[in-house]
Copies of this chain bind each other. A is one copy, B any other.
Amino acid sequence: MSSTARSVRLDVNGFFSHMIGSYGFDGHDLDGVVPRLSAAVADLDAKRRSGALPFYDLPYDSAAIAACNALASELRAEFDTLVVLGIGGSALGTKAVLEGVPAASLAGGMRVIVADNIDPASFSRLLDGTAGVDLSRTAFNVISKSGGTAETLAQFLIAREKLMAHPSVGAARWARHIVVTTDPVSGPLRALAKAEGFRSLPVPAGVGGRFSVLSSVGLLPLAAGGVDIEALCAGARHADTLCCVADPRENPAALHAGLLFLALRERGCGIHVLMPYSDGLLRLAEWYAQLWAESLGKAHALDGSLVETGQTPVRALGATDQHSQVQLYVEGPRDKVVTFVRVEAHDGELTIPAAYGDKEEISYLGGLRLGDLLNMEQRATELALAESGRPTSVLTLSRCDAASIGHLFHLFEVQTLVMGALLGIDPLDQPGVEAGKLLTYGMAGRNGYAADAERVRAMLARKRDDLVLG
C-alpha cells in the first residue's frame, strides 16, 4: 500500500486474532457480518438518493459554501471577534476544526470563541472584557436548529442586553452584531431574525445537529475564523468516495462499524475509546463522542421487550492519558475497543537535543524528534494492548489539516449510520433528552409545565436525609 496518495488510512488489524490472540476475530467472524453490512451500505445509498439523508450532500453544496464565505468576509470587515452561542451539535464540530487545524493556517481569520455552556463564571468573564473581548468589535453567531434551545436563548438574551447597554453599540446598532443560524422557516429564532432584522443563515431541512458541521452551522464560524472550508469539504468528499463502496471489506466506514458491532455483541465491548495522539484532535474526539453516543444510545422495542443499546464513547489523549487511563485499558475489564488517531507529519516538529551522554536514562532521547517519540508511544500502546489481547484500530493522518478533519467527519458519520443499521435503531433521533427538558421547564416556571414542576417536587420529597452526608 502506498501511503503518499492517502490522506487518511484505517488499520483494523488490531481486531483480529493474528494480532491479539484468541480474543480477536477471524475471517469467519467477519464473513458473518458482511451480508448485513452490504445491505446497510445499499440501504444508505438508496436513502441518500431519495433525499432522506441530506447531510451527505453538504460538502457538495458550493452555493452554501460560497454564502458562508461571503458572510464571513462581511463579518471580518466589521468585527474582530465572533462568539458562537450554541451547544452540542451547534458547537462541537466548530471547536474540533478550530483546534485541529494548524494554528498558522488561521492567520487572517477572526478570533472565534465557542461559548457552549451556561456557567455564569465563564460567560460573565467572556462578556465583561476580562477575557479580552471588546463588545463593540464582537459579533455573536446564535445557532440553534429548532430556535428554542434554552441555554442558547439564555446566552442570547444576556448578550443582547450587554450590547444594548454598550456605549458604542446601543439600541440602534446591536442587531448588526447578531447573526442567527436556524431553521429556514420556523421557530422562535427565525421569528426574531425577521422581527429584528438580524443577518441569518438556514440550517438545511433534515440535517440534525450532530450531522451539521458541514452546513452553515459549522461553515460560517469556521470561515470567519480563517479555515479553508473548501478544503474541509473536499476532505469530506474524498471520504465519500471511499465510504460509498459497495463491498464492506473495501469500505472503511462499513468495515469499522462491522468490527465495532462484533466487538460489542460478541465480546461485550460496551466502550469505544477514541484516543488521538495530537492535542489539537482532542476536540474531534469530543465531537465524535456526541455522534456515537446520541446516535446509538437508544431503547427500542424488539419482539415485545425493550432493548437498551449503544456503545459508550470515551475520549482519551495520547501520550498524556498513558499516564492516566492505559493501566485500566491494559489490565482492566475486556469491555473496550481503543481507536488511535496518529499523525504522520507533525506541525512545529522539534528535535530533542543530545545532552548528558553519561546518563543513559536521559541520553537515549537525544536526536529523536518529539513527534516521532509521540508516535512511538502510540505504537507502543497499541502493541501493549495487543499483547494483552485487547482490540484496537488505528486511523493515520498524513497531516492534521482541514482536509483530513473533513475526511474524518464524513467517515465517522457514515460509520455511525452503518452501526445504527446493525443495531436496528434510528440513529437520527434523540427521544431520551425530552424528559429532562420538560423537568427544566417545570422548575423554570414555564407556562404549561406545572405538572412537570409537580413531578420534580414529588421526586425530591422522596429523598431521605440519612442518605445525605456532610
The answer to whether B314 and A436 have CB atoms under 8 Å apart is no
The answer to whether A459 and B365 have CB atoms under 8 Å apart is no
**Can you name the residue of chain B whose Cβ is closest to the Cβ of A368?**
B444
The answer to whether B13 and A328 have CB atoms under 8 Å apart is no
Contacts of A77 in B (CB 8 A): none
In the complex, A301 has a CB within 8 A of chain B: no
The answer to whether A312 and B310 have CB atoms under 8 Å apart is no
Contacts of A463 in B (CB 8 A): 11, 13, 19
In the complex, A134 has a CB within 8 A of chain B: no
9 contacts between A and B (CB under 8 A): A103-B125, A118-B377, A120-B347, A123-B370, A188-B359, A293-B325, A326-B433, A380-B456, A386-B459
**Can you name the residue of chain B whose Cβ is closest to the Cβ of A294?**
B327
One of A67-75, A152-160, A198-206, A229-237 contacting the partner: A152-160
Contacts of A166 in B (CB 8 A): none
Contacts of A160 in B (CB 8 A): 353, 355
In the complex, A278 has a CB within 8 A of chain B: yes
In the complex, A136 has a CB within 8 A of chain B: no
Partner of A13, one of B317, B333, B381, B468: B468
CB of A433 to closest CB in B, whole Å: 5
Are A332 and B350 also in contact (CB < 8 A) when A157-B355, A468-B11 are? Answer: no
Partner of A297, one of B255, B290, B327: B327
Partner of A322, one of B320, B359, B433: B433
Beta-carbon contacts of A355-384 to B below 8 Å, as 1s and 0s?
Answer: 110011110111011110110110111011
**Distance, CA A467 to CA B438, complexed state (A):** 47
**Distance, CA A125 to CA B102, complexed state (A):** 11
**How big is the A interface, by class?**
35 or more
CB of A136 to closest CB in B, whole Å: 20
In the complex, A299 has a CB within 8 A of chain B: yes
In the complex, A109 has a CB within 8 A of chain B: no
The answer to whether A124 and B348 have CB atoms under 8 Å apart is yes
Are A328 and B353 also in contact (CB < 8 A) when A188-B361, A469-B242, A470-B242 are? Answer: no
CB of A369 to closest CB in B, whole Å: 8
Contacts of A148 in B (CB 8 A): 361
**Can you name the residue of chain B whose Cβ is closest to the Cβ of A87?**
B323
Partner of A432, one of B123, B188, B330, B441: B330
Give 6 A-B pairs besides A157-B355, A158-B353 with Cβ atoms closer than 8 angstroms: A153-B365, A192-B359, A294-B327, A312-B336, A330-B436, A364-B445
